[in-house]
Amino acid sequence: MSGLWGRLRNDFQLSIVTLVGICSVFGVTPYAVYRLQQQNWIVGFTDTFLVLGTSFAVFYAWRTGNTVRPGQFLAVIYSLGGFLVTIKLGINGLFWLYCLVLFNFFVVPPVQSLAATLTTLVATCIYGWQQPGDIFESHYQMMSFVVTYLLASLFAFVFAYRSRFQRRQLALLATLDPLTGIGNRRTMDDELDIAISDSQRYGMSFGLLVLDLDHFKSVNDQFGHSVGDQVLVDFVRVIKSACRASDRIFRLGGEEFVLLVPKVDRQALAGAATHIQRSVANQLRSPGWPVTVSIGGCVLEDQGSREAWLRDADVCLYQAKDAGRNCTVIKGLETPVD
């Protein structure tokens, strides 16, 4: 049960599809039963199809983790179902179209929601125009419905678009370091877990480097934190230029960074660290003196967890500092690399 609640807490769209699905099943099922008892076959079977389709979509979302296709499927069948119910029930069916507006903007992206919502509106108005009296009692009533329906759609679109934008911004804040724009500790934890899983499942090799700027506190103390921040930004730029596209850098905290290096052995990891160390020494400057970096690293072997893997690399980092800084220590290689 805790796993189910965890998925709902961590996946907003899955929670929305599930909530909407539950509300739809419990809300529509009584109407389906009532319509079938009244032998109103078209509406009854439409409601039944909506209930079964909703159940299938929720099951598919939970089984596969894909919430995009179930949302699109639900938007299509509910838009079609809303139209069919409206032409059969007349003006009483129009009330369900307002629920459809909210439903669509919850389960699919705003632009797709707007397309489904407007398509339903156009189809309803065309039918109402061609069959006077079946849905609308007058053209004035139809225009009133169009205006209120469009207003509801506009408000829902603005809300959905703004909410989607804010969720994206929150996701960035939760996963990226705001100063340097690279992955933060949370992102690093996820990436290291994935690397360990890939290593165990596919036999892929990974190396881990922990990098710490030497005497960085002196930069902040003498020149201020704004200068120190710029040094950190320049440091990340240098690291990216010295690394492969497949390497991933994360900010662990302060002036300490972690580099995940796939497809390497000890010698290759030491070579990558040496190249980074020299690039930093040659390219990175503070206002008063050159900036250097100490590096500790290890290849993923039998650590079994990211905490143990990171701890092994961290021990090597402290050995590099004890060896005089501006050098690299790789677990399994006997001597520091200058």
Q: Which residues are catalytic?
A: 255
- C-alpha distances in Å from residue 236, one per residue of 11, 25, 297, 321: 31, 52, 18, 20
The first and second tokens of residue 87, run together, are 């032409």
Q: What are phi and psi of 261, to 5 degrees?
A: -120, 110
The set of residues, in sequence order, having a beta carbon less than 8 Å from that of 142 and lying 6+ positions away, is 125, 128, 129, 135, 136
Query: Residue 117 carries which side chain, given as an amino acid letter?
Result: T
- The neighbour count for residue 205, using CB atoms within 10 Å, is 17
- The neighbour count for residue 90, using CB atoms within 10 Å, is 16
Q: Do 50 and 56 contact (CB within 8 A), yes or no?
A: no
* Radius of gyration of the chain, Cα coordinates, nearest whole angstrom: 30
